[in-house]
Structures are given as structure tokens and as C-alpha cells.
Amino acid sequence: MRASGSRKSVSDPPVLATQLPLELLHRGKVRDVYAVDDEHLLLIASDRVSAFDVVLEEPIPRKGEVLTQLTAWWLHNLRRDLGISHHIVAVRADEVVGLYPALGATRPEWEGRATLVRRTTPIRAECVYRGYLAGSAWKEYEAHGTLAGERIQMGLQQCQRLDPPLFSPATKAEHGLHDENITFSRLVEMVGEELAEELRHRSHMIFRYGRDVAADSNLLLADTKFEFGHDAEGELLLIDEVLTPDSSRFWPKEVYRVGQKQPSLDKQPIRDFLEGIDGWDKTPPPPPLPPEVVQACSERYLEVFRRLTGIQLDDWTPPTFGALNR
């Protein structure tokens, strides 16, 4: 990957975890979160992968780079085209080191997968938008004819397009628990009517934008989730990853067929493999992944980056955010 004169190699080893000269605040399923100062965090997207809420032993090469750089691409475009404010300060390694020289010694460990962001107070709800009836939404609908407990149109099929798309917020679960779909009225109870309406409005704008961009790449954006937070001045910002294979379901349009599961451009090869193993109860320790499953998953992440941006990851130059996002 080109980044201010440097280039990562496809042969660079995957990153399972980082050890930086900063305070580690959190090591999640994928990200390592470090405190930089009172106003900023450094988010590192590793190559860790989870399935069924279990972190697997094998990393997925270049996954963390795709998540970081694709988010940067989307947020740059969303700010430019829609005026959506977000939390990114810098993605380019030279800019990060320029602001915090002490990170220079560990640059090979985090380059291409690090994002310097403004600290925020996250809103404890995920803003899910669904363009197709899939995943947990399909399971609930199939069983009860509802989504988050509310009745929706009858007679829909699996993976059918939803017109209009549905705003379907969810609670942010604690570690080891599952997110729960909630009604809009429950979101109002949690955050107040004004903020709930603003979250729905911004999520709708971003979803429509992402859907249209994906369509230009012959991709269907089936569903996605957004997260927001308030900065120290109270400004509402779009945070975390945006429209990536880990936060969204992208389907190749050329093979889409209503009424059946679709081949998602994400970690679907891993889920399919694990679902076929008899006797695993979806708790640690997970079964080992064969090399061909790891490779297939890595290739899907790289493919969705290329199809959306029109650029191979190794030919990509990250944007500069400072002036644009003030």
C-alpha cells in the first residue's frame, strides 16, 4: 500500500495483536484501542477474525488494512459529498508520526491499519439500516412476521429487497453477548426523541449514498450498521468503521437470487466452514481453519475494496483529513 512514500508488501506477516508504547485501553475482537492523549485515540485494526462471537486462532491476511483504508475512503467521500462529520484526524502513517514521533519506532507494526481519531462518548445503540431481508432480520421475520417485534409487510422472501429500506436500531451488547434489535420507540426512550430522529436521518443519508456507490460497482448493499458519538464540544460525529465487510453485507449483483442465501463478500467462507463442523457448540476453543478458507476470506476482503474504490489495495493512497474535517 502506498502511504506517503512508503509501501507495504503483500508478503508482510498478518498482525494478530500490537504492542505500542501507549496505554492500551481495549483489545476487542478486531481492534486494539490506545490512548494517545486526552483528546485522541489510536485505533489499530488487526487481522483477527471472529465468527459466532468467538475469536479464531488464524488471522486473515490484510483484513485490518482493508477495514482501515475502506473506512477512510468512505469517510473522506461522505464528508466531501454529504457534509457528514466524523472522528478521523489522520490515516497516513507520516502524518501520525509527525504528530506523535514516539510512534515512529513501531511504524511497521501499525502502518496501513492505524487510524488517529478524536475521542468521543459513543451512543450506546447501533444504527442499522436494512435494504434486504437477511441475517437476524430474516430469522425473526420467518418465525414471527416481525422485525424488532413490529409487524412488517407479509409474504416477503429470504433476501428480498425492502422498499423502502428499514431503519432497525440495535442495542450495543457487552462483550460475549449478542446485540438485540429494538424498535424506534425504544431508541427514543434511550436517547431522546431529537437525537433519535437525527440518528435516523443521518443513517438514512449514509445508507442511500452507500447503496448508490455500491450499485455503481455492481454490488448490492444488503444491510449495514453505523455508530455515532459526541465529541468534547457536543458535536455528533460518525465513528468506528463505516461500510466495510465487517459492518455491512455486500452481495455481488451478478449472482443475486431472491429466496435464498447470498454469497457475501466478507467472512462468509469461515461461517460456512464452521457451520459444517459437527460437534462444535460455537464456544471457545474454535476449530482450526484450513489454509484455503483463510485465503478465500482474504480474497473476498480485497475484492470488495477493489470493487468499491476501483483501486487495488496496493495502489491506494490514503487521503489527508485535517483541513477537510475541521
Give the whole-angstrom CA distance, residue 203 versus residue 169.
10
The whole-model pTM stands at 0.93
pLDDT: is 161 or 179 the higher one? 161
Give the whole-angstrom CA distance, residue 39 versus residue 35.
9
- Specify the pLDDT at position 322: 72
Which own/partner contact pairs does 147-153 have at CB distance under 8 Å and 24+ positions apart? 147/181, 148/181, 148/182, 148/183, 148/186, 149/181, 149/183, 150/183
Q: What number of helices (H) and strands (E) belong to the chain?
A: 8, 19
The tens digit of pLDDT for each residue in 126-153 reads 999 999 999 889 999 999 999 888 899 9
Residues 6 or more apart whose CB falls under 8 angstroms from that of 102 comprise: 21
The tens digit of pLDDT for each residue in 84-95 reads 999 999 999 999
Location of C-alpha cell 478486531: 30
Paired sense of beta strands 150-151 and 161-167, if any:
unpaired
The tens digit of pLDDT for each residue in 49-64 reads 999 989 999 999 999 9
Give the whole-angstrom CA distance, residue 233 versus residue 189.
24
